Amino acid sequence: MKADEILAEYERLFKAGVISQEEFERQTSRVRDQARVRRLEERGVGTILQVEPALLARILTSQVFWVVLVLAMMPLLLAAVEIPAQQGMILYFAFLWFFLFLRLFRLHLRGASPFDYSLVMALVIVPGLAAILPALRWLAAPFYRLVDTPLITARWVGFVFGVGISEELTKLLPVLMVVILARRAGRHLGLQSTLMLGIASGLAFAGFENILYSEWFGARIWGMTFTRQDVVLSRLLMTPFLHALWAALTAFAVGLVAVTGSMRLGRLLRIAGPSLALAAVLHGSYDTLAAAPVLAVLVGGASYLMVVLAILAAKRWEGGDAGFLDERVL
């Protein structure tokens, strides 16, 4: 008997009450499996791997398909538009981290649009890196001078109150501007949306700081040049991630201010100020310990843990769940 005839017979027996539903499902599943195996052996892979117009149209209109393709092919795309490989790969890893944060933590971007994230990135670059950071570095010059001293406690003070405060403020101000602009336009960004703005700000900062400042900054402070392979790899892979973490902490606090009331300066300083201080301490501690990998990893791990706690808090606040913690990646 053919598979269709066997299936029809089992359906007849089931409707007549001769076999149970469980037996019907078990037998029909077995028959279908046997039929698939037989077709595969007789006709080859083409019986399974079929290109159907409706399925092809669905794939070609899928965001997942295009995002993965662009991320995978970005090195070639950057080369095609003649962006230098070093600069292109910095941007590549920044974009890669953005989508990893967004998808793995299942962030719900309530009230936000792609324009908000594009705007915050643009504000980080100009005026952030172009004007705000140089001004803050000038104001914090006495602290910046401490990072060259041999005494580790003095270096820590320099990195926290010089590098940490100035860079975290540079990343925070664009987030604050976008949140205020959204409120004035009648849109209220959710807590997860604002936290993701911080991640976008940190990634943009890291990417363009690496392009514009790394060789000068590294040679001046750590005696390293951006042409060393270990420095290149660490900056490409880790600094976008770490800058995103520290910016996310302050953005989370700004989001709390925004979703619970007014954005008055006093209220902003009272609620978001401690998060800015924490981000600066973590940032400065990491920079101080960068030459001691084990200790630096501990600081990076603590930074990551704090952001995961912030994500969980944002999800609870907005009625979400922590299901992503139980998912198996592999």
Statement: residue 205 has pLDDT above 50:
yes
Q: What percent of the chain stands above pLDDT 90?
A: 55
Mean pLDDT confidence for 285-307? 93
Q: Average pLDDT, whole number, for the chain?
A: 87
Q: Are 127 and 135 in contact (CB under 8 A)?
A: no
Helices 265-288 and 293-317 sit at what angle, rounded to 10 degrees?
A: 150
Q: Which residues are CB-contacts of 141 (< 8 A; sequence separation ≥ 6)?
A: 162
Both tokens of 292, joined, read 């001691």
Q: Burial level of 39, CB count in 10 A (0-12/13-18/19+)?
A: middle
- Side chain identity, residue 30: R
Statement: residue 232 has pLDDT above 60:
no
Give dist(CA 109, CA 102) in Å, integer.
9
Structure pTM? 0.82
Q: Are 182 and 189 in contact (CB under 8 A)?
A: yes
Mean pLDDT confidence for 7-23? 87
Mean pLDDT confidence for 258-266? 94
Instruction: Supply the pLDDT for residue 79.
Output: 77
Lowest mean pLDDT among 74-78, 101-105, 160-164, 243-247: 74-78
Cα of first residue to Cα of last residue in the chain, in angstroms, is 42
Statement: residue 308 has pLDDT above 70:
yes
Higher pLDDT, 170 or 219: 170
Place of tokens 């949306």: 193
Q: What percent of the chain stands above pLDDT 70?
A: 90
Q: Are 241 and 97 in contact (CB under 8 A)?
A: yes
- Side chain identity, residue 160: V
**Tens of pLDDT, residues 100-109:** 899 889 999 9
Instruction: Supply the pLDDT for residue 228.
Output: 54
Total count of residues recorded for the chain: 330
